């Protein structure tokens, strides 16, 4: 058998309404590319009929379809990790199942790769998500830009292409909580970006609640930077210096003007402000330590129930 040129990885979580529309666009788009390909679906413990629909699709196109079934919900990034471990293509493209990014744009990514790049990121043209996600995402993008060395215009867009070398490097990582586009970027030698289309989610709703988005962004920040911890060390240093000056000032004032008792609420305000910073710092430490704890337990990152693939 000749080697597979392209693997498309699609994580699926409760997408029963949209899967048929996805098949109807994804397969023709890939057929048109004229390369040998495979599509790897990962069912991330869906509680609807998604697994059954994927099974049917596997029976329809067993030559180019592989399905990994998780026995629980391990998250989009773990699903993609599993896809990476089970794919065989020389180039790997990740795509969401909800058709927010057009599968027809995969050709664009591959064309850019032909120019010699090993990692193709993407930028969503006219992003169609709720306004608060746009605002939050821009803020996180800016923060990431400052505290990590990762340069991405649009970190949230998952339609991306990777070379086999990068995927092999990712497969050798045993990270539990991670952010795939950032992890891949750290291994890329010549990253590039293209603009891709973006549509509103046609059916179903976003699988990310505010809570899981916050968790995901903590994964990104803690997984790729310790600057948040350093900020606390620096804040600590500055506050200690300022209070040292303050003590000296009070001492001198005590000798010249005499004792003072006003300003009680100013004192409260300053104290509460510092307590707030301290609590945030402890919480932030907890985020790192919790992840270290999860990592040192060495539990399996995900559990595969079954893999549907044609035996060679
Ligand atoms: N997804 C997943 N596991 C999860 C959450 C999401 O596999 O726990 C998949 C989902 O089926 C979709 C992709 O990840 O294919 C992106 O999810 P979604 O479109 O809900 O995210 P958004 O576009 O709102 O960021
Ligand atoms: Mg989506």
Q: Best of 98, 122, 196, 200 to mutate for ligand 1, by most ligand atoms within 8 A of CB?
A: 98
CA angle 95, 223, 100 (to 5 degrees): 20
Please indicate whether residue 70, judged by its CB atom, sits closer than 6 Å to ligand 1: no
Q: Residue 302 burial (CB < 10 Å; 0-12/13-18/19+)? A: buried
CB 127 within 8 A of CB 151: no
For the packed helices 131-147 and 210-224, what is the interaxial angle rounded to 10 degrees? 10
CA 42 from chain center: how many Å? 16
Architecture of domain 6-205+300-308: Alpha-Beta Complex (3.90)
Predicted TM-score (pTM) of the model is 0.89
Please indicate whether residue 219, judged by its CB atom, sits closer than 6 Å to ligand 1: no
Q: What is the pLDDT of residue 90?
A: 95
Where along the chain do its domains lie? 6-205+300-308, 227-296
C-alpha neighbours within 13 Å on the C-beta side of residue 39: 28
**162 contacts: CB under 8 Å, gap ≥ 6:** 91, 92, 93, 94, 118, 119, 120, 170, 184
Q: What is the pLDDT of residue 1?
A: 58
pLDDT 10s per residue in the chain (312 long)? 578 999 999 999 999 999 999 999 999 999 999 999 999 999 999 999 999 999 999 999 999 999 999 999 999 999 999 999 999 999 999 999 999 999 999 999 999 999 999 999 999 988 888 889 889 999 999 999 999 989 999 998 999 999 999 999 999 998 888 999 999 999 999 999 999 999 988 888 899 999 999 999 999 999 999 999 999 889 989 998 998 898 899 889 888 988 877 777 888 888 988 999 999 999 999 999 999 998 898 889 999 999 999 887
Q: What is the pLDDT of residue 310?
A: 86
Please indicate whether residue 162, judged by its CB atom, sits closer than 6 Å to ligand 1: no
Q: Best of 207, 215, 217 to mutate for ligand 1, by most ligand atoms within 8 A of CB?
A: 207
Q: What is the pLDDT of residue 264?
A: 79
C-alpha neighbours within 13 Å on the C-beta side of residue 273: 8
Q: What is the pLDDT of residue 53?
A: 95
Report which bound ligand comes closest to the CA of 157: 1
Q: Residue 286 burial (CB < 10 Å; 0-12/13-18/19+)? A: exposed
Q: What is the pLDDT of residue 217?
A: 93
Q: Residue 90 burial (CB < 10 Å; 0-12/13-18/19+)? A: middle
Nearest in space to 57 (alpha carbons), one of 103, 28, 18, 19: 19
What is the H or E stretch that residue 91 is in? Answer: strand 91-94
């Amino acid at each position: 058998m000749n080697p597979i040129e392209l693997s498309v990885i699609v994580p699926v979580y409760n997408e029963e309404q949209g899967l048929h529309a996805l098949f109807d666009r994804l397969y023709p788009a890939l057929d048109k590319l004229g390369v040998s390909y495979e599509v790897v679906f990962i069912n991330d413990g869906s509680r609807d009929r998604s697994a059954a629909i994927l099974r049917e699709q596997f029976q329809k196109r067993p030559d180019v379809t592989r399905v990994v079934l998780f026995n629980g919900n391990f998250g989009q990034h773990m699903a993609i990790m599993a896809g990476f471990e089970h794919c065989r293509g020389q180039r790997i493209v990740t795509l969401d199942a909800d058709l927010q990014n057009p599968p027809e744009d995969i050709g664009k990514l591959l064309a850019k790769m032909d120019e010699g790049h090993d990692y193709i990121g993407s930028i969503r043209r006219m992003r169609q998500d709720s306004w608060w996600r746009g605002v939050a995402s821009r803020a996180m993008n800016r923060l990431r830009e400052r505290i990590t060395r990762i340069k991405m215009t649009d970190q949230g867009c998952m339609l991306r292409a990777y070379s086999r070398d990068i995927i092999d490097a990712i497969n050798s990582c045993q990270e539990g909580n991670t952010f795939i586009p950032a992890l891949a970027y750290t291994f890329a030698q010549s990253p590039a970006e293209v603009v891709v289309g973006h549509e509103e989610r046609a059916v179903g709703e976003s699988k990310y609640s505010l809570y899981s988005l916050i968790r995901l962004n903590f994964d990104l920040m803690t997984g790729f930077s310790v600057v948040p911890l350093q900020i606390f060390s620096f804040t600590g240093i500055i506050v200690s210096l300022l209070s040292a000056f303050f003590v000296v000032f009070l001492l001198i004032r005590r000798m010249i003007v005499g004792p003072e008792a006003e300003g009680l609420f100013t004192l409260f305000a300053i104290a509460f402000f510092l307590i707030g910073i301290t609590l945030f710092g402890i919480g932030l430490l907890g985020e790192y330590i919790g992840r270290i704890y999860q990592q040192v337990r060495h539990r399996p990152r995900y559990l595969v129930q079954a893999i549907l693939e044609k035996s060679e």
